Structure 1
Amino acid sequence: MRYVIAGGHGRIGLRLGALLAERGDEAAGLIRDPAQQSDLVERGIRPIVCDLETATVAEVAGHLAGADAVVFAAGAGPGSGIARKDTVDRGAATLCADAAEQAGVRRFVVVSAMGTDREPPAGTDEVFAAYLRAKGAADADVRSRANLDWTILCPGRLTDDPGTGLVTLAEHTDRGAVTRDDVAAVLVALLDEPATAGRTLDLVEGPTPIPETIAALARR
């Protein structure tokens, strides 16, 4: 299987690519900075230099051609301003969805965030509010696409603690934390289970092993 990860050098993208490569899949990561290529190569991920803020749909579609699935895990990141929340967290997601449709790649998994389905509460930092709105707009756009078998994953507060393999994954959960290791592992499981398409899922740490929670979702 061939998977392409937008945001291939991100802290989730690198973990996901490594997991896929370790089990023998072909993992490719879209990155903006050529200097990041070695970080992907040493994890078994094929780097593809492509700036999603300037690339065309046709250019990105060319990189996605022949893929079994696309994972959008890109983000403007900490320290970026309001403008880049829109160009990356919304615009790049829409671009990748357009490109997946053009390339004929149906499976499309998005790493979003909790709280993007509502207006940010009064008093929310303006940059974080812009981030939530951008993610929410991107999620709504992806949900509208009949040509994509999409899944939108909304993790809680991300940590770099070691993964436990135990999570709560559901359409709605209470807020909480989750490790990036476990987010990556859940993404692999979602890619492996076609019955999770068409769902928006919250993810936090919890009591249930990842294979069990994915199997339960597939039965619903």
Structure 2
Amino acid sequence: MRIVIAGGHGKIALLLERRLADAGHDPVGIVRNPDHTADLETAGARALVLDLEKTDVDTLAGHLDGADAVVFAAGGGGGSGAERKLTIDRDGAILLADAAEKAGVARYVMVSAIGTDDFDPARAELPAANDDDLYQVYMRAKSEADADLRRRDGLDWTIVRPGGLTDDAGTGQITVGTTVERGTIPRADVAEIIATALSEGTAVKTQFEAVSGDVSVSDALATIKY
């Protein structure tokens, strides 16, 4: 499969690209910085240099021609301001969905975050007065992007809402559910969730939270219901 990943230089994306490449797939990572191309190639992926904040639906859809699936793993990052939480985490995800529909790419996997629908609307408006408000804007952006994806009947979407992310080695054992007890999960296991959902065709039209647990990724995704 040819799988196009927005946010191709992120930690989850690089792990996913290596996992997909090792399985014989063709991962393509969208990156804004051309200096990141070498890192993607090391991970077994091809780089598409494109700024999601400066492109349009038609241009992005053209790059998706022939793709089998898209993954949204982009984000404004910890050092970005409140505005970029909306223009990347929300608007970038919506742009990718619009482009996927236009290009006829049905499969879409979203990397979201645990508990995003619990944001405080009163504190999630621009400008953000402090770090707590900035986090509320981030949660709002993720929640609104997820809601937009859920309404798209023409896409076979999966929304993964991981708990606190760690750089620990993956275990391949997780707990999933519409809601789960708050916890952590290695980025490697999030990458495994995405790769498994894509390769096995599971978790379609599902939104779920995920933390470390005691069920294999494949078994967990085969039973999750939304």
Q: Is residue 31 from structure 1 mapped to residue 38 from structure 2 by the alignment?
A: no
Q: Is residue 141 from structure 1 mapped to residue 143 from structure 2 by the alignment?
A: no
Within 5 Å, give how 1:149-168 maps onto structure 2: 149-168=156-175
Residues of 1 paired with 2:33 and 2:68: CA distance? 25
Of residues 114-123 and 186-195 in structure 1, the stretch that sits farther from structure 2 once superposed is 114-123
Of residues 202-211 and 150-159 in structure 1, the stretch that sits farther from structure 2 once superposed is 202-211
Within 5 Å, give how 1:39-188 maps onto structure 2: 39-120=39-120, 125-188=132-195
Within 5 Å, give how 1:195-210 maps onto structure 2: 195-210=202-217
Residues 36, 217 of structure 1: CA spacing in aligned structure 2 closer, same or farther, 3 A cutoff?
Answer: same
Residues of 1 paired with 2:219 and 2:104: CA distance? 31
When normalised by structure 1's length, the TM-score is 0.95
Residues of 1 paired with 2:76 and 2:150: CA distance? 21
When normalised by structure 2's length, the TM-score is 0.93
- Aligned-pair CA distance for 1:122: 8.5
Residues of 2 paired with 1:179 and 1:160: CA distance? 6
- Aligned-pair CA distance for 1:211: 1.8
Aligned-residue sequence identity (percent) comes to 49
Structure 2 counterpart of 1:6, one-letter code = A
Residues of 2 paired with 1:122 and 1:159: CA distance? 30
Residues of 2 paired with 1:89 and 1:156: CA distance? 17
Q: Which runs of 5+ in 1 are unaligned?
A: none
- Aligned-pair CA distance for 1:171: 1.6
Deviations 1:39-66 (A, max 9, x none): 0011110000010011111111111111
- Aligned-pair CA distance for 1:195: 4.1
Residues of 2 paired with 1:207 and 1:71: CA distance? 26
Tell me if the contact between 2:202 and 2:222 (Cα under 8 Å) persists in the aligned partners. no
Residues of 1 paired with 2:113 and 2:134: CA distance? 15
Residues of 2 paired with 1:59 and 1:117: CA distance? 31
Deviations 1:153-201 (A, max 9, x none): 0000000011111110222111100000000001111112334111101
Q: 1:212 maps to what in 2?
A: 219
Residues 108, 45 of structure 1: CA spacing in aligned structure 2 closer, same or farther, 3 A cutoff?
Answer: same
What secondary structure sits across from 1:117 in the alignment?
Answer: helix
| Runs of 4+ deviating beyond 6 Å | 121-124
Residues of 2 paired with 1:58 and 1:121: CA distance? 33
Residues of 1 paired with 2:114 and 2:17: CA distance? 23
Q: Which runs of 5+ in 2 are unaligned?
A: 124-130
Residues of 2 paired with 1:213 and 1:66: CA distance? 30
Structure 1 counterpart of 2:136, one-letter code = A
Report the number of matched residues.
219
